[in-house]
A and B are shown apart, each in its own frame.
Chain A
Amino acid sequence: DTEVTQTPKHLVMGMTNKKSLKCEQHMGHRAMYWYKQKAKKPPELMFVYSYEKLSINESVPSRFSPECPNSSLLNLHLHALQPEDSALYLCASSQQTGEETQYFGPGTRLLVL
């Protein structure tokens, strides 16, 4: 089973809203990732969690706040987003943050109005 699930599939929010994206995996992976993907562009890394601790933050604005409640779950809390934040947000996981393969979820398509 190499499944990473994400909810919701689609999200529309205003610039003053607070919302959360959720990601879950049950493969026993200890590394989880958030990526942002704009149309026809490659995924851009946002955050990496390793053993439930934040290990990489790629200079992401504070209006994006990640959280890893346990080894299977990864959240991305959104607050005061801008229209340019509209994108596909992908979650991925891997055994660890070494050279292991990353498995991607289907993504949440976010539209900020």
Chain B
Amino acid sequence: AQSVSQHNHHVILSEAASLELGCNYSYGGTVNLFWYVQYPGQHLQLLLKYFSGDPLVKGIKGFEAEFIKSKFSFNLRKPSVQWSDTAEYFCAVKAPGNTPLVFGKGTRLSVIA
């Protein structure tokens, strides 16, 4: 079964700082990869996803992620964070077929002015 590791539990950044959140997964076969964001008091929203093709994917709100197959990683990046990016970020992995979507434990991002 696949598993997902998000190494950073809580990240605190100043506005305009660059962001990189780590995500590693364990699964030997083809996977689909997702980053979801949960703003305080709100529901999970899809930030971006990777199914195939260009390993650098761009999502909403200036976020991007790079799939590195050899490292089993799908790290999330943003060049310059804003206070409004304060949220919980979840990486998720899904194998093909009737298999569950597996979430990482999440990384809480706090952006301070």
Contacts and interface: CB of A to CB of B under 8 A. Distances in A.
B104 to A, nearest CB: 6
Interface string B27-44: 000001010100000111
A99 B43 contact: no
Interface residues of A, number: 22
Name the residue among B51, B98, B105 with the largest chain A CB count within 10 angstroms: B98
A99 B46 contact: no
By secondary structure, the A interface counts as loop
A98 B105 CA distance: 23
B96 A99 contact: yes
Name the residue among B49, B51, B101, B106 with the largest chain A CB count within 10 angstroms: B101
Given A42-B106, A90-B43, A101-B49, A56 B100 contact: yes
A89 to B, nearest CB: 11
Contacts of B44: 43, 90, 104
B103 A43 contact: yes
B43 A40 contact: no
A106 B49 contact: no
Interface in B63-83: none
Nearest to B52: A99
A8 to B, nearest CB: 15
Please give me the 5 A-B residue pairs with the lowest Cβ-Cβ distance, nearest first.
Answer: A42-B103, A104-B44, A106-B43, A99-B32, A97-B98
